[in-house]
Chain A
């Protein structure tokens, strides 16, 4: 009865003997559990917050934009089978001017019903009250209000429909449609440069010249009805009113970005812990095999004392499981901390009424179970060896390991100088599985970092792309199409050096059975401020005939250069059959481009433009912005350089936290793998090293043998890790390839170099810490000990 407590005491002493390896195992297992706890906890927190928010605000299932339709059309939709609630409203791009900002700010104005709240897409009022039907009042979104220090009672200037109007802010709100609030032309949310405003229906009707009409409809579907079926009926019913595609939540921008983010988090939560647990299992395997090897005689004695095989095997398994439990405990604590941190970070970009980190119990239980299973799997070989060891054999001296020549011997210089290299190579030949596992562990550490660090390269490429594609200082959008001469007028504005008009035509592009509603942009042949770029980011001219399609759009339509597509402007019965002239690069959205004159000819009427790119004299920037603010002639404005800077800052803030976390974990993994490998080598070959010491080899020379072993594995692991990292990055890029955005696959030398450097440093550090033991070795004790 007292055997077990004694064995447990032995377990604790064994742990002390394995200290370094035990710490490595606990840390790597903790990384696995922490990643799972963090990822799935954050995912659950975001998912729950979104579900509750959608439920509370009756978030729509189907969305459609159109030109203008009478309310009667909305009533007809309400009567369609499967429709549970409808909101018809006016939505318009606008601009606002606030005292703390020099120029106008892009805004989206949304009408608020005359009575009550909308049936779908309600908003959450955080402060103040809702607007009155025809009063010059607005409710603004919370992040914009916070970014500009605005509160109910403040005023702003609304530039809408070519007029400027002073509005009173009466409330501050959140909307489920803008959890991720991306303004027109923006690459990431920027609360300082994009506002969402809710104002009385009549205010918008007056500005847009609509009377009892709507241009945007959202509806909720009954639980049993098919969203797709209802969407198609809505599309058919509203087609006469210039409806674009009626789409479900999956193409609603904010929802789609959230879903893409969830998809990413879930991917990290599944892949990274699996990698860490594989490494942890390998470390346990090494530690247990070494321990059992050095304790052969103890095992023999225990068996000779009559303690059963199962109990002794359990004793060793217990050690692995104990380390697993420590790893789980540390992982739970670290995962909870990181989860809170990450949730706080996401709360800066995703605006929910409430978002706080919550654990996801099923995934925690799964992570614990899988971690314990990984520990048991890692321990299996050592434990099996314990069971199989016959007491007599265990008490006898072990048979010396049988070595043989390996084919690599031929590469090594004959004579004494090649001795160390031969020893290392034959050791690999004797224990190929261990060498392969060490190599794989180091390669995975490199790969994991590359798979994370390449995000910075992708970001650089995207920034480089946009900086080359959009060289104008400002992009302005008109409230309606204007004659092409409007560009000439803009060029006469103060500070404007150059103005290049363009026209955006919402249209449906189709080929075979595939169709997409997209924006077709007509660009002038002489455009200098906006350039189309190919996949290598080289400029390509605007095709004189036919279309240039974004690569993703071409693949969705399954067309290539030379194929033909049909183009039907939204709200028009005109249909044109056009060739695909070029495929161009585009990372955000799905767009098509054509020659401005050709586009105007297709639409008919006078040549027109719907916006312009401007080059502005930097010294007269303020003057330009003030005149723009005063004129009220624009519906939207964006500043490409500011958009890029904001995108860069946003991405860096998120990426830096997540990537640093993984780089640290990968470094830890490399340290653990290399340390474990060196420690096992030292334990197994202690007598050899002591012999070399007796032969007159210094500690540094013997340390070099140990280092040579690690260096050879490292030399193979680094290129393999780079390849594996590239492959992982490819998988990630494929997962992120959506209609919303694409991430380019770029792995720079800098990224690969950093990943390699971290692993080399971790490996050198761990090998050095083990090699130091050689200098402290008691040569005579080792050499005179019983083999």
Chain B
């Protein structure tokens, strides 16, 4: 189901400096993302997965190399332009959910749609993740799985072109995890978002079109799942 190319990453490098210490988190990564494609990023802790995700999402800037989004180079964006990029084009799903605790599930979704061009109605987005009955609850009143589904609804409601999921099932039970992955899958297929799934869990990689294994800041292995498996069929 691959569509047109959304992101093109070339020779990407990111170095973290703490005092005199240097940690080279990414050492020349090349990557293309296409709409409607699910890419799984696998790798041990410190391999550079989250760093790559942050750079793709415009939460961080590279030290060298380039990331192009529809031909425009992200590293040349100023803070305001980066914020606009995240607001219009990127949906995030975090392991820690990061819902706003003082807003209900519906309001969390509405907030994320502020400024979006053709957002899905908040109630519909929450319906997609099976939270219609609990959309007026506050995060503190939802279970971990429900909070993660609300976070997914928030990420997809703006119809993002890039959906970034960092360990989306890391903090939820298996059953809830499958539900979360199904929604991510639907978003990729039906909304045509390029989806990047960061995970420790090798079993999850089976739902991706492509699997990239990172080690020591480089893509050590790239493979294509043919055919990929549906999220509902995954087990771990």
Binding site for B on A (CB under 8 A): 399-404, 415-417, 419, 422-423, 426-427, 430, 687-688, 690-699, 775, 779-780, 783-787
Contact = CB atoms under 8 A, between A and B. Distances in A.
B102 A430 contact: yes
Contact of A786 (B88, B96, B99): B96
Nearest to A696: B87
B101 A401 contact: yes
A416 B60 contact: no
B17 interface: no
Interface stretch (B105-113, B172-180, B204-212): B105-113
Given A401-B140, A430-B102, A696-B87, 19 more contacts: A400-B139, A402-B138, A403-B101, A416-B110, A416-B113, A416-B115, A419-B114, A426-B103, A687-B96, A691-B98, A691-B100, A693-B59, A693-B86, A694-B98, A695-B111, A780-B50, A783-B59, A783-B94, A784-B50
Interface stretch (B27-35, B65-73, B76-84, B126-134): B76-84
Contact of B98 (A399, A403, A687, A786): A687
Interface size class of B (residues with CB under 8 A): 35 or more
Given A696-B86, A698-B80, A783-B96, A422 B103 contact: yes
A411 to B, nearest CB: 15
A162 B146 CA distance: 103
Contacts of B166: 784
A565 to B, nearest CB: 68
A780 B87 contact: no
Contact of B83 (A691, A697, A780, A783): A697
B75 interface: no
A787 B96 CA distance: 7
B57 interface: yes
Nearest to B154: A695
What is the interface of chain A mostly: helix, strand, loop, or mixed? helix
Contacts of A694: 57, 59, 86, 92, 94, 98
6 contacts: A422-B103, A426-B103, A690-B98, A693-B86, A694-B86, A694-B94
A784 B96 contact: yes
A696 B85 contact: yes
A419 B107 contact: yes
Contacts of A779: 54, 59-60
Contact of B115 (A691, A696, A786): A696
Contact of A423 (B85, B86, B100): B100
B121 to A, nearest CB: 11
Contacts of B87: 695-697
B8 interface: no
A660 to B, nearest CB: 41
B232 to A, nearest CB: 28
B102 A402 contact: no
Contact of A698 (B83, B95, B111): B83
A698 B79 CA distance: 8
Contacts of A419: 103, 107, 110-111, 114
A780 B96 CA distance: 12
Given A400-B101, A422-B107, A430-B102, A699 B59 contact: no
B91 to A, nearest CB: 9
A400 B96 contact: no
Contact of A404 (B88, B138, B139): B138
B138 A688 contact: no
Contacts of A785: 96
A699 B96 CA distance: 22
A487 to B, nearest CB: 80
A422 B111 CA distance: 11
B156 interface: no
B152 interface: no
Nearest to A417: B114
A687 B59 CA distance: 14
Nearest to A782: B98
Contacts of B98: 687, 690-691, 694, 783
B26 interface: no
A368 to B, nearest CB: 42
A780 B60 contact: yes
A696 B88 contact: yes
A688 B100 contact: yes
A62 to B, nearest CB: 72
A400 B95 contact: no
B90 interface: yes
Contact of B140 (A402, A422, A423, A699): A402
A693 B111 CA distance: 12
Nearest to B81: A698
A695 B140 contact: no
Contacts of B95: 784
A785 B139 CA distance: 18
Across the A-B interface, the 8 shortest Cβ-Cβ residue pairs: A696-B87, A416-B114, A696-B86, A419-B111, A426-B102, A698-B83, A780-B54, A691-B98
Contacts of B110: 415-416, 419
A426 B100 CA distance: 11
Name the residue in A426, A696, A698 with the highest tally of chain B Cβ atoms < 10 Å from its Cβ.
A696
Given A416-B114, A696-B83, A698-B80, A403 B138 contact: yes
Most buried by B among A415, A690, A783, A785: A783
Contacts of B84: 696, 698
A712 to B, nearest CB: 14
A784 B166 CA distance: 9
A665 B112 CA distance: 43
A785 B166 CA distance: 12
Contacts of A403: 101-103, 138, 140
A785 B95 CA distance: 10
A785 B87 CA distance: 22
A698 B87 CA distance: 9
| Interface-centre pick from A415, A423, A692, A694 (highest chain B CB count, 10 A) | A694
Interface string B32-50: 0000000000000000001
Interface string B135-156: 0001111000000000000100
A624 B22 CA distance: 92
B94 A784 contact: yes
Nearest to B80: A698
Given A400-B139, A402-B140, A423 B102 contact: yes
A557 to B, nearest CB: 63
A783 B99 CA distance: 11
A780 B94 CA distance: 10
Contact of A427 (B57, B80, B102, B113): B102
